[in-house]
Chains A and B, each alone.
Chain A
Amino acid sequence: MSDDILTQAARWRDEGKPVALATVVETWGSAPRPVGSQLAVTAEGAFLGSVSGGCIEGAVIHAAQEVMAEGRPRMLDFGVTNEQAWEVGLACGGKIKVYVERLN
């Protein structure tokens, strides 16, 4: 499935759209998507793939907009002990690290 995500990311770039890639790099506990799971997103907010069961995608897409603008990769931490995670509701109780980078 990640095939389609990277193919789509390349296609979006070909259309001249800014694109960011988010990748799950570490998980603890009952994380919904395994390490290596990816999501591609455009500046317009169109996205394909997933890094959780839907709990943190909103926050990741938001952060991706900033990464696209700044160009510097960023590591995002989500977990039950993290205030941000409560806000976005990581209901499973797991913890995940998501690496967000711009596709240059």
Chain B
Amino acid sequence: MERSLLDRLAQDRAAKRPVVVATFLDTGEQRLLYLQGKENTQGIDHAIAEAARAAIVADKPRTIDSAQGKVFLNVFNPPLRLILVGAVHIAQALAPMAALAGFDVAIVDPRGAFATPDRFPGVSLHDAWPDEAMTALKPDLRTAVVTLTHDPKLDDPALAAALRSDAFYIGALGSKKTHAARLGRLAEAGFPEHELARIRGPLGLAIGAVSPAEIAVSALAEIIQVLRQAGPA
């Protein structure tokens, strides 16, 4: 690999731009290919550019046979994201665990005493109200949203925003009773039942978790289960 290509790849990744490194296995030549933009596909067989786009969308690197020989398409998608609503004790455990698993973590909590850099070193903190923060963060197909506050004033607008997004996972902390009440409020706000079914509540895999760290394990395990066994597309 040429250093200039590695540097351009680093720039793309810093800009969170999905990119494919195409390696022509017969010659060792390499090119960067993108979702859009024809300027970079000069001299590249159309089928290769198409396969690169498909690999980005599926988030699956693969080797293809082409008119230009075997080509390995390695996919570099921006990191998955996890938006935590509620800078609570569980979030203090979940944020570093999720970061270790490869997620870019953002924490939303308008309560100044909770979302402090001391409690969340190195995590991006958003002190806007959840509806505003969610509008700014724009959850997409590669985003998981988890509400942890137990406070309907904070959780509900975040969940409503998540339901209007393509987030691949939406989870809400709270007992079955709390969750039933929550679904009732969101139904009243106009969300039909099949949309509300996207919310995992009570969130997490049933592993008998007790401590905040154990609940974080259970939540992260469920997020990964949905990611790997159901979606994103």
Contact = CB atoms under 8 A, between A and B. Distances in A.
Interface of A: 1-3, 6-7, 9-10, 13, 21, 23, 25-26, 34-36, 72-73, 75, 99, 101-104
Given A1-B102, A26-B63, A99-B23, 18 more contacts: A2-B76, A6-B9, A6-B13, A9-B6, A21-B1, A23-B72, A23-B74, A25-B63, A34-B61, A35-B60, A35-B62, A36-B61, A75-B25, A101-B1, A101-B23, A101-B28, A102-B1, A104-B3
The listed residue with most A CB atoms (<10 A of its CB), out of B1, B23, B61, B102, is B1
Contact of B7 (A1, A10, A34, A73): A10
Given A36-B75, A73-B28, A75-B25, A103 B62 contact: no
A6 B12 CA distance: 13
B6 A6 contact: yes
Contacts of B9: 6
- Specify the main secondary structure of chain B where it touches its partner: mixed
Interface of B: 1-3, 6-7, 9-10, 13, 23, 25, 28, 60-63, 72, 74-76, 79, 102
Contacts, number: 49
A35 B6 contact: no
A6 B63 contact: no
Contacts of B13: 3, 6
